């Protein structure tokens, strides 16, 4: 892995520090061909939330990606998806996401359920390692980013990954305007 620079983060190859990611994330990273191009940085876990993280580690909000878990419903059926947007935007859950998922209703999944279903810590959920049957919706601005910082499955670190690598994850689909300003 060539050196990755992102704000004040000390980034190393994730393959050298799989101990810094959730077990389900490590399992996926061991199997994907471009894992050698992904970095990981250890952080203060109390600063994992986007705004505090960006301020402390000098990462612009436009370079921080958030992964949110969406619960979709139609009749008695419930299913889940991951949405990846920039930290400077909000997920269009009831527009773009709901329509793509062909759901009658879509909302943010309850925290406890998102944590239980992903095997990741709250505030550190990442699309790398979500259940394999889940669709992953990636905002086009994330996909076009050379590098973004996203959760690692645990609050004590962040992944540094290209938008193209996120868009190439299995079950990923790129959408215009998935992330909305304000």
* Gap between the Cα atoms of 92 and 106, Å rounded: 10
Task: Establish if 5 belongs to a structural domain.
Answer: no
| Band (3; pLDDT cuts 50, 70, 90) | low
* Gap between the Cα atoms of 74 and 69, Å rounded: 17
Instruction: Write out pLDDT tens, residues 78-136.
Output: 999 999 999 999 999 999 999 999 999 999 999 999 999 999 999 999 999 999 999 99
* Gap between the Cα atoms of 81 and 120, Å rounded: 15
Task: Establish if 111 belongs to a structural domain.
Answer: yes
CATH assignment at residue 164: 3.90.960.10
Torsion angles phi and psi, residue 141, rounded to 5:
-70, -35
For residue 110, what is the DSSP state?
Answer: P
| Domain housing 93 | 11-181
* Gap between the Cα atoms of 131 and 116, Å rounded: 11
Task: Establish if 152 belongs to a structural domain.
Answer: yes
Q: Model-level pTM?
A: 0.94
Task: Establish if 91 belongs to a structural domain.
Answer: yes
Residue ranges of E strands in 87-123: 89-91, 105-108
């Amino acid at each position: 892995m060539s050196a990755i620079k992102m704000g004040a983060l000390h980034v190393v190859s994730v393959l050298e520090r799989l101990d810094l990611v959730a077990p389900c994330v490590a399992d996926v990273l061991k199997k994907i061909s471009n894992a050698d191009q992904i970095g990981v940085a250890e952080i203060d876990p109390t600063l994992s939330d986007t705004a505090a993280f960006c301020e402390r580690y000098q990462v612009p909000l436009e370079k921080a990606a958030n992964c949110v878990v969406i619960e979709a419903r139609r009749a008695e059926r419930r299913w889940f998806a991951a949405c990846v947007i920039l930290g400077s935007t909000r997920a269009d859950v009831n527009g773009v996401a709901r329509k793509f998922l062909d759901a009658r209703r879509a909302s943010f999944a309850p925290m406890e359920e998102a944590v239980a279903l992903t095997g990741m810590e709250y505030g550190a959920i990442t699309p790398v390692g979500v259940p394999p049957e889940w669709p992953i919706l990636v905002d086009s601005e994330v996909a076009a980013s050379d590098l973004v910082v996203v959760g690692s499955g645990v609050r004590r670190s962040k992944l540094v990954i290209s938008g193209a690598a996120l868009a190439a994850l299995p079950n990923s689909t790129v959408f215009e305007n998935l992330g909305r300003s304000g």
